[in-house]
Structure 1
Amino acid sequence: MKNPLRKRYKREIKKEWLKNLSLFLILALVIGFVSAMFVGNESMMKALNDSYEKYNTEDGRFQFESELSSDLKEKIESYDISLYEEFYKDCSQDNDNDGEKDATIRVFKNREEVDKACLMEGSLPSTDSEIAIDRMHADNNDLKIGDTIYVDGNAFTITGLISLPDYVCLYENNSDFMFDALSFNVAILTDAGYEKIDDNEKFSYAYKYDETPSNDTNAKEKAEDLLENVVAEVKACYFDSTLGNENNIVDFVPAYLNNGINFAPDDLEGDLSMSYILLVVFVIVIAFIFAVSARNTIHKEATTIGTLRASGYTRGEILRHYLFVPSLVTLFAAIFGNILGYTYLKNVAVSLYYNSYSLPTYKTVWSVDAFIYTTLIPVVIMLVVNFLVIVSKIHMDILNFLRGNLSRSKRSKAIRLPRWKFMKRFRLRIMLQNAGGYLILALGLFFVVFLLTFATAMPETVNKYQKTSVEEMFANYQYILKSTVDENGKEITTDTKNAEKYSYTSLETTEGVRVAEPIGVYGVLKDNDYIRLSKDLSENEVYVSSCYADKFKLKVGDSICLKEKYGDETYDFEIVGIYDYQGALCIFMDNDAYNETFDLEEGSYTGFLSDEEITDIEDKYIVSVIDEEDITKVSRQLDHSMGGMMGFFRVVLVIVSALLVIVLTKIITERNSLSISMVKVLGFKNGEIASLYIMATGIVAFVSIAISVFLANILMAQVWRWYLKTMDGWLSYYLSYASMLKIGVLAFVGFVVAALVCFKLIKKIPMTDALKNME
Structure 2
Amino acid sequence: MILNRKIKRNIKIHKTTYIVAIALLILSTGLFTMFNIGGPVIKDSIKNFKDDYKVEDAYFTTALPISDMQPLENMFDLNIEKMEWKDVKVLDKVTLRIYKERKNINLVQITEGEALSKSKDIVINNDFYLKNNKNIGDSIDINGEEYNLNGKSATPDYIYMLENNTSLFSNKETFGVAFISEEDFKEIDSPSIGYSIRLNKDNESEFKEYIKENYFALSWVERKNNTKINAIDGDINGMFALGQYLPIVVVVLVSLLISIVIWRLVKNELTELGTLYAFGYTKATLTKHYMVYPILVSLIGALLGQIPGVMLANSIKAALSVEYNLPIIIVDPDIKIIVLSILIPIIIIAPINFIVISRALNHSAVDLMKGKLKEEGPSFLERKIPLKGLSFSMKYKIKEVLRNLWRTALTISAIVFSAMLLFFVFVMNDSMERIVKQGYEDSYKFDNLYMLSNMSIENRGGEKFWNLPVMSSNNNDEEIKYTLEAREKDSTLLVLKDAEGEVLSFDKNIVSKSLAKKLGVKEGDTLKLKSELEDSTFEIEIEKIANSFLGDKLYISLETLYRETEIPKDSYIGIVSKEKIEFQEGQLASSTSKTAMVDGIKSMISPLKFIMWMIGVIAALIGIALIYVIITMVIDENRLNISMFKIMGYDDKRLSKTILNINDILIVFGYLISIPLSKVAISAMFAEVTKDMEFSLQAIISPLSMLIVLIILETMYTLTKAISKRKILSIPMDEVLKNGRE
Once the two structures are superposed, residues 732-757 of structure 1 have per-residue CA deviations (whole angstroms, 9 ceiling, x without a partner) of: 33443323322233333432332133
Q: Does 1:310 align with 2:282?
A: no
1:476–1:611 Cα contact (<8 Å) kept? yes
**Matching of residues 403-414 of structure 1 within 5 Å:** 403-406=370-373
Please say which of residues 199-208 and 408-417 is displaced more in the overlay: 408-417
Q: Does 1:228 align with 2:205?
A: yes
Partner of residue 278 from structure 1, selected from 236, 242, 246? 246
Q: What is residue 9 of structure 1 aligned with on the other side? A: 7
Q: What is residue 476 of structure 1 aligned with on the other side? A: 447
Partner of residue 299 from structure 2, selected from 315, 331, 338? 331
2:468–2:531 Cα contact (<8 Å) kept? no
Partner of residue 360 from structure 1, selected from 327, 335, 340? 327
Partner of residue 250 from structure 1, selected from 213, 219, 225? 219
Partner of residue 186 from structure 1, selected from 177, 181, 184? 177
Q: CA deviation at 1:405?
A: 2.0
Q: What is residue 683 of structure 1 aligned with on the other side? A: 649
Structure 2: which amino acid aligns with 1:88? E
1:472–1:581 Cα contact (<8 Å) kept? no
Once the two structures are superposed, residues 573-595 of structure 1 have per-residue CA deviations (whole angstroms, 9 ceiling, x without a partner) of: 22222344443333333433332
1-structure distance, mates of 2:449, 2:229: 29
Please say which of residues 721-730 and 391-400 is displaced more in the overlay: 721-730
Change (3 A) 1:738 1:147: farther
Q: CA deviation at 1:661?
A: 1.0
2-structure distance, mates of 1:356, 1:481: 26
Secondary structure of 1:119 counterpart: strand
Q: Does 1:572 align with 2:563?
A: no
Change (3 A) 1:535 1:309: closer
- Number of equivalent positions: 730
Change (3 A) 1:630 1:84: same
Secondary structure of 1:196 counterpart: coil
RMSD of the alignment, in Å? 3.2
Secondary structure of 1:324 counterpart: helix
Structure 2: which amino acid aligns with 1:83? I
1-structure distance, mates of 2:642, 2:679: 38
TM-score of the pair, normalised by structure 1: 0.85
Secondary structure of 1:290 counterpart: helix
Q: What is residue 522 of structure 2 aligned with on the other side? A: 555
Secondary structure of 2:542 counterpart: strand
Partner of residue 586 from structure 2, selected from 612, 620, 626? 620
Please say which of residues 39-48 and 529-538 is displaced more in the overlay: 529-538
Q: What is residue 701 of structure 1 aligned with on the other side? A: 667
Partner of residue 124 from structure 1, selected from 99, 115, 121? 115
**Matching of residues 258-657 of structure 1 within 5 Å:** 258-264=226-232, 267-343=235-311, 345-406=312-373, 416-470=386-440, 471-483=442-454, 492-494=458-460, 499-512=462-475, 514-526=478-490, 542-600=509-567, 602-615=569-582, 617-625=583-591, 627-629=593-595, 631-632=597-598, 635-636=601-602, 638-640=604-606, 642-657=608-623
Change (3 A) 1:467 1:52: closer
Q: CA deviation at 1:442?
A: 0.7
Please say which of residues 681-690 and 434-443 is displaced more in the overlay: 681-690
TM-score of the pair, normalised by structure 2: 0.89
1:524–1:588 Cα contact (<8 Å) kept? no
Structure 2: which amino acid aligns with 1:295? W
Once the two structures are superposed, residues 92-112 of structure 1 have per-residue CA deviations (whole angstroms, 9 ceiling, x without a partner) of: 4433xxx4x33x333223335
Change (3 A) 1:735 1:195: farther
Change (3 A) 1:442 1:580: closer
Change (3 A) 1:112 1:556: closer
1-structure distance, mates of 2:677, 2:600: 28
Q: CA deviation at 1:447?
A: 1.2
Q: Which runs of 5+ in 1 are unaligned?
A: 210-221, 239-245, 486-490
1-structure distance, mates of 2:126, 2:79: 29
Q: Does 1:730 align with 2:672?
A: no
Q: CA deviation at 1:160?
A: 1.3
Once the two structures are superposed, residues 190-211 of structure 1 have per-residue CA deviations (whole angstroms, 9 ceiling, x without a partner) of: 22432333353222234363xx
Change (3 A) 1:84 1:641: farther
1:475–1:609 Cα contact (<8 Å) kept? yes
Change (3 A) 1:370 1:758: same
1:76–1:233 Cα contact (<8 Å) kept? no
Q: What is residue 488 of structure 1 aligned with on the other side? A: none
1-structure distance, mates of 2:687, 2:105: 38
Secondary structure of 1:293 counterpart: helix
Q: What is residue 243 of structure 1 aligned with on the other side? A: none
2-structure distance, mates of 1:536, 1:263: 31
2-structure distance, mates of 1:13, 1:416: 40
Q: CA deviation at 1:77?
A: 3.3
Q: CA deviation at 1:20?
A: 1.0
1:464–1:734 Cα contact (<8 Å) kept? no
Structure 1: which amino acid aligns with 2:443? E
2-structure distance, mates of 1:759, 1:530: 59
Structure 2: which amino acid aligns with 1:508? M
Q: CA deviation at 1:424?
A: 3.1
Q: CA deviation at 1:49?
A: 5.3
Secondary structure of 1:198 counterpart: coil
2-structure distance, mates of 1:641, 1:557: 42
Structure 1: which amino acid aligns with 2:400? I
Change (3 A) 1:472 1:150: farther
Q: Does 1:57 align with 2:58?
A: no
Structure 2: which amino acid aligns with 1:312? G
- Identity within the alignment, %: 21
Secondary structure of 2:470 counterpart: strand
Structure 2: which amino acid aligns with 1:19? T
Once the two structures are superposed, residues 38-95 of structure 1 have per-residue CA deviations (whole angstroms, 9 ceiling, x without a partner) of: 2333443454455456x5423524333254232x53233343333344x232414433
Change (3 A) 1:530 1:353: closer
2-structure distance, mates of 1:266, 1:719: 10
Q: What is residue 213 of structure 1 aligned with on the other side? A: none
Please say which of residues 476-485 and 365-374 is displaced more in the overlay: 476-485
1-structure distance, mates of 2:691, 2:47: 27
Q: CA deviation at 1:229?
A: 2.5
1:430–1:693 Cα contact (<8 Å) kept? no
Q: Does 1:81 align with 2:78?
A: yes
Q: What is residue 31 of structure 1 aligned with on the other side? A: 29
Change (3 A) 1:168 1:84: same
1-structure distance, mates of 2:586, 2:154: 29
2-structure distance, mates of 1:364, 1:483: 43
Q: Does 1:753 align with 2:719?
A: yes
1-structure distance, mates of 2:102, 2:522: 49
1:58–1:208 Cα contact (<8 Å) kept? no
2-structure distance, mates of 1:299, 1:535: 69
Please say which of residues 60-69 and 525-534 is displaced more in the overlay: 525-534
Q: Which runs of 5+ in 2 are unaligned?
A: 497-501
Q: What is residue 41 of structure 1 aligned with on the other side? A: 39
Q: What is residue 68 of structure 1 aligned with on the other side? A: 66
2:450–2:592 Cα contact (<8 Å) kept? yes
1:504–1:523 Cα contact (<8 Å) kept? no
Once the two structures are superposed, residues 694-735 of structure 1 have per-residue CA deviations (whole angstroms, 9 ceiling, x without a partner) of: 022244324423542464245434543465445432233344
Secondary structure of 2:345 counterpart: helix
2-structure distance, mates of 1:357, 1:767: 64
